[in-house]
């Protein structure tokens, strides 16, 4: 969370340093293959990417592009191990729809996932040893910033920090519909998640509408995430079924039945996602939160300028005495 009274440069540096520190904190346990640290390392990299977007107008342009590229790479590599775990969990959940006898035939698929997981874990280890990862960490610890208004605080600047992310979220929402491909729903999910993270980082700069937006964004992210999981699982199973080294016949039959069930579930989740987004948009959740943040920012700026004017209006000796006494 960013303190609203912090100056903009200090807030940006802290966000970058805290973000990479969290990624590195989970690194050792993730390399051992522990499930929760793997999840947290991936989440930390995503939150750090969100922080980069929040401060994109403060960080030097070349660095923003490098952070975007390399943090996407970190998330992808760390996520590869996590995806194996989640795919196994989803298969176990969805296999309840095809009955216990057929579900038991899916065991060869879990063996495939174990092999994939080990290969992904080796890839994660290679990533953490790479020069690219080391340079990224060093640059995030010492971010290169643009020149900004020296007196501006994070709270005053919050509307400008949020606006580009909110705009991209609305734009992604306009593209989804009954005939929209899964990729568009996935894009909206990523935008919603990034906006939620941004609101959470700046939660001290808002009020009740701000907190409500965080809750509704989390709800929206959850249903879109379930839809994406169903889409990804169906695609992975179809790819597995077309493998040159086919699975045993009973496993192939079970996988085919599972693909059908996942497809039906995916269609239901798509419809739910559309309904929820319509309610979300109609309530103007994002707009209400932005208005509140803008109002709070204006009030903070007014108070700062009033305080500055008061200091300047005092005799030089009195102002100096107050500064010396810490007033």
| High-pLDDT (> 70) share of the chain, % | 93
3 state SS of 143 = coil
How confident is the model at residue 206, as a pLDDT?
83
Q: What is the pLDDT of residues 207-263, one digit of tens each?
A: 899 999 999 999 999 999 999 999 999 999 999 888 767 789 999 999 999 999 999
Q: Is the pLDDT of residue 323 over 80?
A: no
Question: Does 266 score more than 70 pLDDT?
Answer: yes
Look at residue 8 in the predicted model and tell me its pLDDT: 86
pLDDT tens digit string along 278-308?
Answer: 999 999 999 999 999 999 989 888 887 887 7
Integer Cα distance of 274 and 190 in angstroms: 16
Rg, Å, the chain Cα set: 24
Q: In which band, very low, low, confident or very high, does the pLDDT at 316 lie, cut at 50, 70 and 90?
A: low
pLDDT of residue 317: 46
Hey, what are 46's tokens? 């995503």
Buried b (16+ CB within 10 A) or exposed e, 101-114: ebbebbebbeebbe
More confident residue, 313 or 129: 129
pLDDT band at 327 (very low <50, low <70, confident <90, very high): very low
Is 276 buried (19+), middle (13-18) or exposed (0-12) by CB count in 10 A?
Answer: middle
Give percent above pLDDT 90 in the chain: 75
Give the other-Cβ count within 10 Å of 14's Cβ.
16
| CA distance linking residue 313 with residue 55, whole number of Å | 35
The CA-atom distances, in angstroms, between 304 and each of 3, 5, 152, 227, 307 are 15, 10, 9, 46, 5
End-to-end distance of the chain based on CA atoms, in angstroms?
Answer: 27
What does the angle CA 311 – CA 313 – CA 317 come to, to the nearest 5 degrees?
70
CA separation for the pair 298, 293 (Å, rounded) = 9
**Helix 8-25 / helix 154-174 crossing angle, nearest 10 deg:** 60
Span 53-86, pLDDT tens digits:
999 988 988 899 999 999 999 999 999 999 999 9
Q: The tokens of 241 are what?
A: 């079924």
Mean pLDDT over all residues of the chain? 90
Q: What was the pLDDT predicted at 324?
A: 44
Q: According to the model, what pLDDT value does residue 319 have? A: 44
Q: Specify the pLDDT at position 322.
A: 40
- Please report the sign of the dihedral spanned by the C-alpha atoms of residue 290, residue 219, residue 26, residue 121: negative
Predicted confidence (pLDDT) at residue 149 exceeds the cutoff of 90: no
What's the pTM?
0.86
Tokens matching residue 3: 């303190």
Spelled out in words, what is the top-level CATH class assigned to the domain 8-315?
A: mainly alpha
Closest CA to 93 of 107, 103, 79, 101: 103
Reading the block at residue 179, the tokens are 């005939």
Q: What angle do CA 190, 5, 156 make, to 5 degrees?
A: 65
- Asked whether the beta carbons of 276 and 186 are under 8 A apart, the reply is no
């Amino acid at each position: 969370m960013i303190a609203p009274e912090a100056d903009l440069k200090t807030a940006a540096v802290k966000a970058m340093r805290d973000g990479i520190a969290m990624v590195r904190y989970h690194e050792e346990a993730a390399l051992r293959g522990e499930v929760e640290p793997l999840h947290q390392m991936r989440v930390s990299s995503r939150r750090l990417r969100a922080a980069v977007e929040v401060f994109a107008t403060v960080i030097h342009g070349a660095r923003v592009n490098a952070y975007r590229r390399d943090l996407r790479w970190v998330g992808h590599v760390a996520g590869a191990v996590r995806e194996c775990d989640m795919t196994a969990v989803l298969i176990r959940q969805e296999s309840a729809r095809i009955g216990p006898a057929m579900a038991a035939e899916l065991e060869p698929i879990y063996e495939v996932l174990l092999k994939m997981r080990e290969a992904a874990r080796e890839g994660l280890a290679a990533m953490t040893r790479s020069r690219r990862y080391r340079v990224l960490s060093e640059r995030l610890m010492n971010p290169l910033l643009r020149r900004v208004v020296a007196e501006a605080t994070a709270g005053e600047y919050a509307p400008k920090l949020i606006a580009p992310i909110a705009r991209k979220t609305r734009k992604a929402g306009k593209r989804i519909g009954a005939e929209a491909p899964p990729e568009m729903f996935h894009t909206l999910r990523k935008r919603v998640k990034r906006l939620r993270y941004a609101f959470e980082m700046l939660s001290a700069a808002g009020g009740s509408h701000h907190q409500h937006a965080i809750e509704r964004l989390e709800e929206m992210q959850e249903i879109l995430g379930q839809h994406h999981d169903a889409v990804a699982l169906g695609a992975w199973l179809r790819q597995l079924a077309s493998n040159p080294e086919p699975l045993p016949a009973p496993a192939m039959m079970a996988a085919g039945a599972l693909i059908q069930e996942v497809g039906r579930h995916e269609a239901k989740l798509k419809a739910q996602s559309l309904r929820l987004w319509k309610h979300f948009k109609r309530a103007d959740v994002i707009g209400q939160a932005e208005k509140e943040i803008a109002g709070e920012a204006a009030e903070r700026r007014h108070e700062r300028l009033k305080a500055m004017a008061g200091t300047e209006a005092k005799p030089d000796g009195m102002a100096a005495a107050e500064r010396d006494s810490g007033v």
